[in-house]
Structure 1
Amino acid sequence: MPASRWLMMIFVVCITSQVVNAQFTLKGMVVDAGSKKPLPYVNIGIPHKNVGVISHPDGTFTINIPEQYRNDTLTFSMVGYTSISFNINKIGQITQFELKEKISQLNPVTIAGEKLTEERIGIVKYHPIVHFTDASTNQDDIFEIAQLVRLDDKAAKVTSLSLYISEDRKDSGIFRINFYSFDGKRPGNRIFEESIVQTHAIQKGWLKFDLKKYHLYLKGDVVAAIEFIPLEKKTAPIYYEVKLGGSARSFTRPQSQGEWRVPPHHYRMFMTALVSNNRRDKHPENGDEKETLPAVRLYSSFVQDSFSIFIKVPKDYDKRKDSLYPVVYLLDANAYFDQVSDYIKRELSVAPILVGVGYADFVQNDSLRSRDYTYPVALAEDSFAISGGADKFLHFLQQELLPYVDNAYRTDTSNRTIMGHSLGGYFTTFAMEREVLKKRIYFKNFVAASPSLSYYDNYLLKQLGDIPWNTPAPPRTLYITAGGLESDSGDGAPADMKDFIRDMQARKGGAINVKTAIYPNYSHMETAVKTFQDALKWLMEGK
């Protein structure tokens, strides 16, 4: 393919600054150096912070910067142009920015004498009965979703990208398609320096982005991304289908210059590409993702219901016949088991036996978790159809599931961990409270990702406050997290969790060691996978 040359441009930024509610309001315009025409859809923000906007079609922008970020840098970037960064404190003195031209040389691609066929790569099916949705919620800045695609070492011509839209919307949407390298954990740099911006009607069904005219050839591991560009007027979100379970590598970025996160789901999204008939590596993870099947369905006499139990042993389990292994019990396994299992396999040098506790399917998981993870029965304002069964579910774990696993596998019974998110995090904290209260030891570590501690008018917090924590016992660890966006201020844990952590840490000589992590720019749902990964790294390897 011929080399692509990009014109030199100037960012002309006319800045005004004022402090409003402890924040600066910066206004400006972005234009092209050669033509002096406005540049729309430039990503403007503070890297890795929850602060960003995108320039309007006329090149103008307005960004509110909190006072605490006064000493940070503001970055401008756009596909096909060289990005720039500058100190926010000096913005008031700058009105014009000149950037040297960016030259992108693409290597020529040759497909020699092979018959090519079009292949769909990704999650290609939609299930009308069992389905879940997510939405592009940012009204002032971009919202980007992405998925890893594993191609062969021979270049494939990308012809389209598709995403399943779950609801109609009256107005159209504007999208930008990006392709990134993959650094082994997250999306890396852009690998195609040409702006692909398309406008489409928002209708239920597969939204197809036709890419044939771009002559786009890719190979190896690439990340395909769809960037939702906000309209100038406020409008309804764009709802799209997501899939729970499976080990696809998915990512999301909720603002310009923001960090990539791992969501608790995958996107019903696929790429079509012309590939050689002689593809040697089919990469099964590129197909329509299938979830791990449960190892057993276990009936509980306490709950009077059956549970799906998912089990994954370390890769060296069969070789190390004399070794005992720590065990990690994961709640909401229908949603999280494959992602956590994949992380353990890829990232941990010291791997536990992973036991996932789930239900018959995702629908039951969504409806029955409130039955099993809560106590007491919910207040009327909580609007739970069924609730209050955490004591029965805990008996199931302690007296039925743990003995089953210990009899079937070589487990280290002194090193068990239980992990849960939201109501699941509430349950793990509940389990810890009951163990200390009754002076019994089943679990050593309790991981609570964004636990719903406000349940039943802060019932569990009040119970924990009445316990004599200085009771001698083998040390236990509570690993508790929250997203900064869960608080009113947006920069810390919710107030009830702050009070709980402060109280726990003030108790000297107690039986519980408390470790906390606050993810400043994370929402409630975004903390789940991040917490599980960080907790496992710390508990298994001390990192």
Structure 2
Amino acid sequence: MKRLFYSLLLLSQMSVCHAATVTLPRAEQFELRAATTDNQPGPRYRILVALPDGPAPAGGYPVVYVLDADLVFHSVVETLRLQSRRPLATGVLPALVVGISYPEEDDVILRRAVDYTPTPAAQPAADMSATMRSAGGGADRFLDFIDKTLRPTIAQRYATNPNHQVLFGHSLGGLFALHALFNRPQSFTHYIAASPSWWWNDKVMATEESAFRRQPDAARGRALLLTVGEFEQSPSRFSDNMPGGIATLTRRAMVDNVRALSGRLITMPGMRVKALELTGENHLSSLPQAINRGLRFALEP
């Protein structure tokens, strides 16, 4: 009986320990509101920031801006901290990570569909939710928030390097990264577009790309990494379980679009372009590799 009592006591103590809150070291969060437009207050954003372990270098920390921070902020931070412990051995510099997310009470699916896209979807399909079909077109306003509100706030609060600024986006976030590159290439030095949703409105993106390529000087000193998973277009044993099945993969042509886009942009003078096709990965399983390879691409010493 005594042994049973102590066993139950130990289990209760373990339960209490497991309920403790886990925090990310050297990280903080705060809220920012976009600028007022048409006498209406701008939307609110939840900003997550993680500092490197060591002091800032003389020129300030490089900064990695991460979209969809509610999903990937912790992954980016821990991947970066692990890789940057020995920069000369790993080829990755320590950097400040800034995640852009939304207040918990907001509809994240709706807000990202608005913020990350230059227009509503060109051809809303059955595999898209009703929310996605009706959203889109806020990319320029969101880019204004980043350029005019968020980046100045980060520069004021932390020691940052204005000449080493990285934007990371996946899926619709990857589409936004390309929109930012084509329209305001000087906003960032490095753009990482992981599995970009070019299909959202390919005619609009093609127009933006053409205008960008007609201004080769705008690309000088910029760097772009494109990533895509093999099974984002090729059939796999999971294809039938996604909305629309293989027909969706074929229609979106994620791999073909990345190949074609990188082939066109790689000829621009003064711009570094790299494309990675990730073997055996799908739209979501490719994300950890995109984070890992993207950090190495953008933060080499």
2:219 and 2:271 in contact (8 A); partners too:
no
Q: Which residue of 2 aligns with 1:413?
A: 162
Residue 62 of structure 2 aligns to a residue whose secondary structure is strand
Asked if 1:532 corresponds to 2:291, the answer is yes
User: 1:443 and 1:537 mapped to 2: Cα distance?
Assistant: 16
Deviations 1:475-503 (A, max 9, x none): 1111110010011467x952222211221
Deviations 1:97-141 (A, max 9, x none): xxxxxxxxxxxxxxx9x944487xxxxxxxxxxxxxxxxxxxxxx
Q: Which residue of 2 aligns with 1:330?
A: 66
Pick one of 86, 95, 118 that aligns with 1:375: 118
CA distance 1:328–1:321, change in 2 (3 Å): closer
CA distance 1:307–1:513, change in 2 (3 Å): same
Q: Look up the equivalent residue of 1:513 and give its one-letter code.
A: R
Structure 1 runs not aligned, ≥5 long = 1-111, 120-273
Q: Look up the equivalent residue of 1:429 and give its one-letter code.
A: L
Q: Which residue of 2 aligns with 1:423?
A: 172
Q: TM-score, normalised by structure 2?
A: 0.76
Q: Look up the equivalent residue of 2:67 and give its one-letter code.
A: L
User: 2:260 and 2:35 mapped to 1: Cα distance?
Assistant: 37
Q: CA deviation at 1:392?
A: 0.5
Residue 414 of structure 1 aligns to a residue whose secondary structure is strand
User: 1:445 and 1:330 mapped to 2: Cα distance?
Assistant: 12
Q: Which residue of 1 aligns with 2:153?
A: 404
User: 2:264 and 2:124 mapped to 1: Cα distance?
Assistant: 28
Paired residue total: 262
Q: Which residue of 2 aligns with 1:297?
A: 31
User: 1:495 and 1:414 mapped to 2: Cα distance?
Assistant: 32
CA distance 1:321–1:423, change in 2 (3 Å): closer
Q: Which residue of 1 aligns with 2:280?
A: 521
User: 1:338 and 1:419 mapped to 2: Cα distance?
Assistant: 14
Q: Which residue of 2 aligns with 1:464?
A: 209
User: 1:472 and 1:372 mapped to 2: Cα distance?
Assistant: 24
Q: Which runs of 4+ in 1 moved over 6 A?
A: none
User: 1:362 and 1:397 mapped to 2: Cα distance?
Assistant: 21
User: 2:84 and 2:153 mapped to 1: Cα distance?
Assistant: 25
Pick one of 439, 449, 454 that aligns with 2:194: 449
User: 1:527 and 1:462 mapped to 2: Cα distance?
Assistant: 28
Q: Look up the equivalent residue of 1:453 and give its one-letter code.
A: W
Asked if 1:365 corresponds to 2:108, the answer is yes
Q: Look up the equivalent residue of 1:541 and give its one-letter code.
A: E
User: 1:427 and 1:355 mapped to 2: Cα distance?
Assistant: 16
Residue 124 of structure 2 aligns to a residue whose secondary structure is helix
2:198 and 2:254 in contact (8 A); partners too:
no
2:219 and 2:268 in contact (8 A); partners too:
no
Q: Look up the equivalent residue of 2:261 and give its one-letter code.
A: F
Deviations 1:120-178 (A, max 9, x none): xxxxxxxxxxxxxxxxxxxxxxxxxxxxxxxxxxxxxxxxxxxxxxxxxxxxxxxxxxx
Residue 384 of structure 1 aligns to a residue whose secondary structure is helix
Q: Look up the equivalent residue of 2:227 and give its one-letter code.
A: T
Q: Which deviates more, 407-416 or 333-342? A: 333-342
User: 1:531 and 1:289 mapped to 2: Cα distance?
Assistant: 29
Structure 2 runs not aligned, ≥5 long = 86-92, 126-131, 237-252
Residue 541 of structure 1 aligns to a residue whose secondary structure is coil
1:370 and 1:384 in contact (8 A); partners too:
no
Q: Which residue of 2 aligns with 1:309?
A: 47
User: 1:538 and 1:381 mapped to 2: Cα distance?
Assistant: 34
User: 1:516 and 1:321 mapped to 2: Cα distance?
Assistant: 30
Q: Quick one: higher RCO (CA 8 Å, sep 6+), 1 or 2?
A: 2
CA distance 1:508–1:392, change in 2 (3 Å): closer
Asked if 1:487 corresponds to 2:221, the answer is no
Q: CA deviation at 1:377?
A: 2.8
User: 2:57 and 2:166 mapped to 1: Cα distance?
Assistant: 22
2:255 and 2:277 in contact (8 A); partners too:
no
Residue 316 of structure 1 aligns to a residue whose secondary structure is coil
User: 1:411 and 1:402 mapped to 2: Cα distance?
Assistant: 10
Q: Which residue of 1 aligns with 2:240?
A: none
User: 1:289 and 1:523 mapped to 2: Cα distance?
Assistant: 32
1:312 and 1:354 in contact (8 A); partners too:
yes
Residue 280 of structure 2 aligns to a residue whose secondary structure is coil
Q: Look up the equivalent residue of 1:368 and give its one-letter code.
A: R
Q: CA deviation at 1:538?
A: 3.1
After the TM superposition, which residues 175-324 of structure 1 pair with which residues of structure 2 at under 5 Å, given as runs?
A: 287=19, 295-301=29-35, 304-317=42-55, 320=56, 322=58, 324=60
Residue 451 of structure 1 aligns to a residue whose secondary structure is coil
Deviations 1:181-201 (A, max 9, x none): xxxxxxxxxxxxxxxxxxxxx
Deviations 1:314-335 (A, max 9, x none): 1113xx5855110000001111
Q: Which deviates more, 533-542 or 331-340? A: 533-542
Deviations 1:451-481 (A, max 9, x none): 0011124421342134315226541111110
Q: TM-score, normalised by structure 1?
A: 0.44
CA distance 1:291–1:360, change in 2 (3 Å): farther
What percentage of residue pairs aligned between the two structures are identical?
23
Deviations 1:237-256 (A, max 9, x none): xxxxxxxxxxxxxxxxxxxx
